[in-house]
Structure 1
Amino acid sequence: MQKKEVSTPQNLQVLYEDNHIIAINKRVGDIVQGDKTGDAPLSDIVKAYIKEKYNKPGNVYLGVAHRLDRPTTGIVVFAKTSKALPRLNKLFAEKDAKKTYWAVVKQQPKKNNETLVHYLKRNTKQNKSYANIKEVPDSKKAILDYTILKKLDNYYLLEINLQTGRHHQIRSQLSGIGCPIKGDLKYGFNRSNTDGGIHLHARKLSFIHPVKKEPLEITAPLPKDPIWDACS
């Protein structure tokens, strides 16, 4: 298996930075916050980058406002100040940030564009969410819009806009219509990617800056591999 490339303070892909926030293009191997693996989380790597870049003494403040699954790539925004963090948290909690994802699937969806509505039930032991057409006990309503952007040789590129933010929502809902994401063994794709990632990328994020109150749109370049190269 190809070794996962992980971010370091030296190779960090910074998409946007000012005094209050910093946006990073997350790699497949990055984990946003620490977990049982004990691997260095992206939040610590960003802190080290800030400390090094600005020669800051003592501890560096960094707040985690949202997350991406470990095998997913793309935009992650952190707060650099205690003023920005609660505002970013509110922005994401109230769905005032428009999130656009790109996903590569092998099966062609039945429609070129569609709004998918499912009821997701999370299994914490499996760390997996199951998509149901009808409401079931302890399920949460999940809504997304997808559009087929491009037909590749053996795959289809979809653009996805989230209306809700649920655990593994895109992965579960696309699997629910028979279109699991390339590399996503957990949700029914038939083989893994060589780097252990999946072809799901947080492509664009649009929101009002939490402090400057100006519109901000951030786009994350695609990872380098033959499938993503064919998408651009």
Structure 2
Amino acid sequence: MSLSILYEDNHVIVVEKPPGIPSQADDTGDMDMLTLIKEDIKVRYQKPGNVFLGLVHRLDRPVGGAMIFAKTSKAASRLSDAVRTRKFGKTYMCVVEGVPAKQEADLLHYIRKDAKKNQVTVFPQPAAEAKDARLSYRVVASQNSLSLVAVMLHTGRPHQIRAQMAYIGHPLAGDVKYGTSSNQRGHGSIALWSTSITVPHPISKDELRCTSLPNEKEAPWSTFTKQQLQQAARWYM
């Protein structure tokens, strides 16, 4: 599998993760992004032995888009610190069923994860072992009972966008785990895409921003124009 590299230097590499590939190795034994990038670096730079690559954040297996990895331990430490201190900005776009009542809103819920089921439960108020989950969204366009929505995460909880949008009655297209009426995408994918990553470069401290767009020819993204997809990617930049 060829990699789509969005940015690379001696310290970091940003790639476009295809939907359906795990961020790191799991029980399935399927090829994962961490292993794939290590092998790519090993071949391209003819590196002997093991290649260091730090996993800074994860995308759910069915999700595609921009993903950053650290190529040195120093970069991994500093990027992880940026995640902890919320200096790591992430924006997404998704296609949801129906049309949200509010064109633009901030959502605050509380999420509790069931590790055995790999699923989360959303609560409107604080609950035992539940963590706060915050995001902002804006509806960019609606067509054929589907809406294209731009999302900015303020917290990074498991399945956060999927669960919160489903909780307000608008599950993501193709997301059977959180209540969509049909698997419109197939192949285990859902209509959620990591459109941008913004973070201080771990060495230079300059702002590093990388963007990615889904394939406008694939459903359900094809419901909307390329210009609308580009508009969704720009809302929080």
Tell me if both proteins adopt one fold, taking TM over 0.5 as the criterion. yes
Matched, 1:228 2:195: no
Deviations 1:104-161 (A, max 9, x none): 0111111000000101111122111111111111111111000001123331100000
Q: CA deviation at 1:41?
A: 1.6
Q: Is the contact between residue 152 and residue 231 of structure 1 (CA under 8 Å) also seen in structure 2?
A: no
What is the letter of the counterpart of residue 204 of structure 1? S
In structure 2, relative to structure 1, the CA distance for the partners of 1:85 and 1:49 (3 Å cut) is same
Matched, 1:207 2:193: no
Match in the other structure for 2:231 = none
Q: Is the contact between residue 173 and residue 220 of structure 2 (CA under 8 Å) also seen in structure 1?
A: no
| 5+ residue gaps, structure 2 | 227-237
| 5+ residue gaps, structure 1 | 1-7
Map of 1:60-75 to 2, 5 A cutoff?
60-75=51-66
Match in the other structure for 2:209 = 217
Distance in 2 separating the partners of 1:133 and 1:226: 32
Map of 1:128-139 to 2, 5 A cutoff?
128-139=119-130
Match in the other structure for 1:117 = 108
Q: Choose from 38, 53, 59 the match for 2:44.
A: 53
Match in the other structure for 2:232 = none
Deviations 1:10-35 (A, max 9, x none): x1111110100001111112111111
Distance in 2 separating the partners of 1:127 and 1:33: 16
Match in the other structure for 2:179 = 188
- TM-score of the aligned structures, taking structure 2 as reference length: 0.91
Matched, 1:39 2:39: no
Distance in 2 separating the partners of 1:19 and 1:67: 21
What is the letter of the counterpart of residue 205 of structure 1? I
Match in the other structure for 2:10 = 19
Deviations 1:168-204 (A, max 9, x none): 1111100110000000000000122222100000001
Match in the other structure for 2:233 = none
Q: CA deviation at 1:231?
A: 4.4
Identity of aligned residues (%): 39
Matched, 1:146 2:137: yes
Distance in 2 separating the partners of 1:212 and 1:58: 28
Distance in 2 separating the partners of 1:67 and 1:184: 18
Aligned length: 223
Q: Is the contact between residue 102 and residue 160 of structure 1 (CA under 8 Å) also seen in structure 2?
A: yes
Q: CA deviation at 1:97?
A: 1.2
Distance in 2 separating the partners of 1:226 and 1:181: 13
SS in 2 for 1:83: helix
- TM-score of the aligned structures, taking structure 1 as reference length: 0.93
Match in the other structure for 2:230 = none
SS in 2 for 1:206: strand
